[in-house]
Structure 1
Amino acid sequence: MLIVPGTRFLIWGGDGWVAAHLKTLLESQGKDVVTTTVRMEDREAVLKLLDEVKPTHVLNAAGCTGRPNVDWCEGNKEATVRSNVIGTMNLTDCCFQRGIHCTVFATGCIYQYDEAHPIGGPGYTEEDPANFTGSFYSMTKGKVEDMMKHYPNVLILRLRMPVSDDLHPRSFVTKITKYEHVVDIPNSNTMLTDLLPAAILLAENMELGVYNFTNPGAISHNEVLTLFKKHVRPSFEWKNFSIEEQSKILKAGRSNCMLDTTKLINKLKEYNYEVPEIHEAYEQCFIRMAKNGTT
């Protein structure tokens, strides 16, 4: 394979879901790419690896989201802090010390609908302070972003409910198809097929700051599952329940919100890159699934 000279990507996250997608994508573009499972909180190991690999770009797709979901973080708060706060800040700082651009795949699950941002109303911008602390996971993410964004070498990309073109266990679609009941609330979603190439584009061009990294618009769970039933699994059925009913079976609350993608879309226009609206994106995703025989 022809390797594009001049850049070297080092991906934190090993063979994790998003990390693996990034590695495959970069390799398909002929990029020089290395992955690692070095613990982000191990400063000596991080600095040693940076000095050995000498990357021009670090992509941080590591972190603690919990298995099978963020409820795990409620009972493992020390481990969550060690990864999502200490580790993330340490890797960011080490990259700063070595003059390396660092892209962090963060989360937009730090907001919840409120009077100023009701369902169907304006989305949260990158400047809005986090207002959702209903889960320990989201609380750590909101806190660490506030600190991390002051570093001059960092690009922070806020994903939400990411979706892949398959039924990987980490994909939002896979999760909700396995639930006995789902709430029906519109949310911003991140289609990885649409947005991971944009992440590489932004990183290569040394872009900085915080971006809401989702497809434009918001889509409800029922709308997602209706499209899934239409294109992928015609026999699929589901049931709804309320947020109040949902809260009885969860240890932690769940973020529900729409993010404003104006900043992202305008930036990507500078590079002639377009991101489809979320309903269109889901339609195309499920068409691709069906074509590939995914059921």
Structure 2
Amino acid sequence: MISAKSGSTMAFLDTTPREPVFLVFGRSGWIGGLVGELLTQQGARFEFANARLEDRAGILADIERINPTHVLNAAGLTGRPNVDWCESHKLETIRVNVLGMLNLADICFEKKIHLTTYATGCIFHYDKDFPEGSGKGFKESDKPNFTGSYYSYTKAMVESLLSEYPNVLVLRVRMPIVGDLLYPRNFITKIIKYEKVVNIPNSMTVLPELLPYSIEMARRGLTGIMNYTNPGAISHNEILELYKSYIDPDFSWKNFSLEEQAKVIIAPRSNNLLDTARIEGEFPEILGIRESLIKHVFEPAAQQKDTLREAVRQMRGRV
């Protein structure tokens, strides 16, 4: 058996030749819904799971019902409206993000099914060994160094445990972005509605470009950990400058420090650069973060900039 840490296709998986069948967890979630739309567009065979991650018997029933070749997991707790929720709901967070995730991985291992899970890269932060602006990114093999929020603490814990399963691919998503600039969970939507933002360069995931790669990764049987972001980092100010350039030339904002930000949030936030050598090796055509934002977000959004500009102004007026 090949170690999951090698990232190789697993020999022990069910290799009976048949059309891929996907079972998707996270029907009601943001990324789960997008994955379902993408599979539909591709004409792939798939169904959404009925079970919750903490329901082992329900997961087994779903697998017996669907008989999937691949499981795609986009379920989990991030908290609403944000990860601060997890600070006061620790048992619920453990039950889903740790016990539930291990439930799913263990069942897929027993059934010889490949599992791809959309996880998080918010388990690192800049430090003396990985200073901001140095261009040195955290690799898949680096040990997480950020546990400032309970959400990140559980995610770092479960990533370490999942790495022992040779059938699992863990995708480290960061600050996910879509083209809809009014969608509340879109990272860009979050920062354009605030009067003040911190200005720190970060790795980010442009979902319209990267989600199709995840389906292909599953088909290829990739395993281990993958930094699932576009190459490079981009700052909050650089994103807002793009919004100003493409959508609203009168847009303005102010910056504040991490110390000032800490006064209006409960848990600290992760800021980091992830190394993207592995994903670039699999998909050499992947765009850098700035180029991807322009192609997949701002150029399409500019086609309806008048409507969008007015909607954002109204949204900011309610902040």
After TM superposition, the score normalised by the length of structure 2 is: 0.88
> Which residue of 1 is the match for residue 208 of structure 2?
193
* Corresponding residue SS for 1:110: coil
Partner of 1:104: 117
Match of 2:237 among 222, 226, 241: 222
The aligned residue for residue 286 of structure 1 is 298
- Contact 1:13–1:37 (CA under 8 A) maintained in structure 2: no
Q: How far does residue 292 in structure 1 lie from its aligned partner after superposition?
A: 5.1
Counterpart check, 1:206 vs 2:217: no
Q: Deviations over 1:112-137 (max 9, x none)?
A: 00111001220000011000011000
Residue type at the aligned position of 1:248: K
Q: Report which structure shows greater RCO (CA 8 Å, sep ≥6).
A: 2
Q: State the secondary structure of the residue aligned to 1:203.
A: helix
Identity fraction in percent: 50
**Contact 1:191 1:281 survives alignment (8 Å):** yes
Q: Secondary structure at the match of 1:131?
A: coil
Are 2:85 and 1:83 aligned?
A: no
Determine if the alignment matches structure 1 residue 61 to structure 2 residue 77: no
Letter in 1 for 2:24: I
Q: For residue 28 of structure 2, what is the amino acid of its counterpart? A: D
Give distance in 2, aligned partners of 1:267 and 1:152.
19
Post-superposition shift, 1:55? 0.9
Aligned mates of 1:262, 1:206 — CA distance in 2: 18
8 A Cα contact 1:232 1:287, kept in partner: no
Residue matched to 1:249: 264
**Does 1:153 find its partner at 2:194?**
no
AA at the equivalent of 1:260: D
What residue number does 2:48 align with?
35
Which of these two proteins has the greater Rg computed from alpha carbons? Answer: 2
1:194, CA displacement in angstroms? 1.1
TM-score between both structures, scaled by the size of structure 1: 0.95
Q: What one-letter code is carried by the residue in structure 2 that aligns with 1:276?
A: L
1:183 equivalent to 2:159? Answer no
**Equivalent pair of 2:123/2:156 in contact (CA under 8 Å):** yes
Q: Does 1:232 align with 2:244?
A: no
1:84 & 1:64 partners in 2: Cα distance? 6
Shift of 1:178: 1.7
2:298 partner letter:
F
In 1, the alpha carbon distance for the partners of 2:304 and 2:165 equals 42
1:37 to partner: Cα distance: 4.4
After TM superposition, the structure 1 stretch with the greater mean CA deviation from structure 2, 227-236 or 70-79, is 227-236
Q: Is 1:130 matched up with 2:144?
A: yes
In structure 2, list runs of 5 or more residues that go unmatched. 1-17, 309-319
Equivalenced residue count is 287
Alpha-carbon distance in structure 2 between the residues aligned to 1:197 and 1:292 = 25
CA distance in 2, matches of 1:191, 1:233: 21
Partner Cα separation in structure 2 for residue 158 and residue 290 of structure 1: 29
| Mapped partners of 1:88, 1:101: distance in 2 | 14
Distance 2:302 2:72 in 1: 31
The alpha carbon displacement at 1:51 in A equals 0.7
* Counterpart amino acid of residue 194 in structure 1: E
Q: Alpha carbon RMSD of aligned pairs, Å?
A: 1.2
* Candidates 169, 172, 178, aligned match of 1:164: 178
- Contact 1:11 / 1:60 at 8 angstroms: preserved in 2? yes
User: Structure 1: 5+ residue runs without aligned partners?
Assistant: none
Counterpart of 1:19, as a letter, is G
